[in-house]
Structure 1
Amino acid sequence: MKTANNKKLMVGGLMMVIMTAAGFSMANENLRTEKDALMKTFPNLKMDGFRESPLKGLYEITAGDQVFYFSPEGYLFFGELWTKDGKNLTAEMREKVATERINSLPLDKALKVGNGPKKVIEFTDPDCPYCRKVDGYLAKRTDVTRYIYFVPLRRIHPDAEKKARYILSQSDRNKAFHDVFTGQLDGKPISIAEDAQQQQLEEMEKIAAGIGIRGTPALWIEGAHVNGADIQLISRLLDEGKEVSKPQSH
């Protein structure tokens, strides 16, 4: 009797595996079909990813830092998907894509500050008050290594670009970084060559644009994203490794 029951269980389990595999195969085939339809309709479209979206009948496309949608009827949709609970699904996907790209960032292009065991990646503006608030906290910690990319927001901080290039052009960059971010150079003339470190700054800004940085500060702490000067969250991630969300940026 036990043998018969065992055989039934084995057969039932095998059928479930076969049905599941068939389901996955059909889903993949449908995805390929819709992707082919997309490329026929928009042959010049460059994309990094194509998948089903949370909304049935729409497919999600990722391209660089952009997330948009395709309808099998032949339309592209640029906008945000929101749930009834107020969750922005498009923003969540953008953040997920950015976090994945963080792992392949060229850290040799960043300004390195500190030698601690915990890695912090920062996108910052020398004149952003929230960035300075973050620096004031991180500068007191000895357990972090900071990889800093400058993203001067020129329209609201007209001196930020020159300050970033000043830091990058100094022989002691860490001291220059400290002097700028503690306000010691505010309101003072900064004497540097017109094109000093322009190429390195442009490389930093290109890296930031590639992962969709639109405001500062933006940080990744041991792989977890912090958008803004949320000192409590930063402290928690460094001390406990737990992620929460989501504050101010400027």
Structure 2
Amino acid sequence: MRFTLCLILAAFLGIQPALAEDPAGDPVDQLSQLLPNTTIDGFGPTPIPGLFEVTAGDQIFYFSPTGHLVFGEIWTKDGRSLTAERREQVIAEKIKRLPLQKSLTIGNGPHQVIEFTDPDCPFCRKVDAFFANRSDVTRHVFFYPIAGLHPKAAPKARYILCSDDRERAMREVYAGAWDSEALPPLANGCQETLLDEHLQLGGMLGVRGTPTIWVDGTAIKGADLAAIAALLDQPSKQ
């Protein structure tokens, strides 16, 4: 099968003479020389001879032992993005390792839902109202307030996480109860760092906006209620 490499950005880096003179050397060692401060999570071959796939955090890029880094996507001749498919696989593995005990868990239905949500995002509130009417889901809610868009969202997320009854507090916030009033003081001994952990987990998964949702492991972009309902109408994967 022929493959086309779509280059969004290619960085042609200067390489050490030893690297150039030994193209048959260990490519992992060569990459480490080029990117000594980058944590490499995965490294493997691609269908293109001499080009290796690199995963680092939420990024996938490519490396050639000639000293080149390529940031872009590999497409097949029939229009499949191998990069996108691989990215979904990487994220799916990370989702399996999410510490769900750190989430706000709501419900006990057979369908497993993971949400990254912003308390002041209108689309997130729309999704919350949708799930509130479903009894067939277990929701694992992580808060991901986007300060640039919703400067009051982070305090609301902390209020929810610091409440004795987090589910009730979330209902209040997402119903708009504190949109025009000052939030109550946080509960004594509250671990405010939990929100920071939620933000770090969202960054690990490459969350860029809210709502970001997975239903039984399938990603949903935005508040696509029809797509969510279609997945929930299928048998659960439990």
Q: TM-score, normalised by structure 1?
A: 0.76
- Contact 1:166-1:196 within 8 A present in 2 as well: no
| Partner residue in 1 for 2:51 | 58
How far apart, in 1, do the equivalents of 2:119 and 2:47 lie?
39
Deviations 1:4-41 (A, max 9, x none): xxxxxxxxxxxxxxxxxxxxxxxxxx999433433354
3-state SS in 2 of match to 1:122 = strand
**Structure-2 residue corresponding to 1:177:** 170
Change (3 A) 1:88 1:160: farther
Which residue of the partner structure matches residue 129 of structure 2?
136
2:105 maps to which of 85, 105, 112: 112
Distance in 2 (alpha carbons) for counterparts of 1:108 and 1:31: 46
Whose helix proportion is higher, 1 or 2? 1
Specify whether residues 85 and 161 from structure 1 end up closer, same or farther in structure 2 by C-alpha distance, changes over 3 A only: farther
% identical equivalent positions:
49
Which is higher, the Rg of structure 1 or of structure 2? 1
1:47 is displaced (CA, Å) by 1.1
Residues 54, 131 of structure 1: CA spacing in aligned structure 2 closer, same or farther, 3 A cutoff? Answer: farther
Call closer, same or farther: CA 1:217–1:85 in 2, change over 3 Å: farther
**Structure 1 residues 91-117: Cα deviation after superposition (integer angstroms, max 9, x where no partner):** 443332111111111111000111212
Within 5 Å, give how 1:149-188 maps onto structure 2: 149-188=142-181
Aligned counterpart, 2:16: none
Unaligned runs of 5+ in 1: 1-29, 243-250
Are the aligned partners of 1:47 and 1:63 in contact in 2 as well (CA < 8 Å)? yes
CA distance in 2 between counterparts of 1:215 and 1:123 reads 9
Asked if the contact 2:162/2:192 (under 8 Å) is kept, the reply is no
Whether contact under 8 Å (1:123, 1:216) holds in the other structure is yes
Which residue, 221, 232, 238 being the options, matches 1:238?
Answer: 232
CA distance in 1, matches of 2:197, 2:24: 36
SS at match of 2:138: strand
**The residue matched to 1:146 in structure 2 has which SS?**
strand
Aligned-pair RMSD on alpha carbons? 2.7
Q: Using CA pairs under 8 Å that are at least 6 residues apart, name the structure with larger relative contact order, 1 or 2.
A: 2
More strand by share: 2
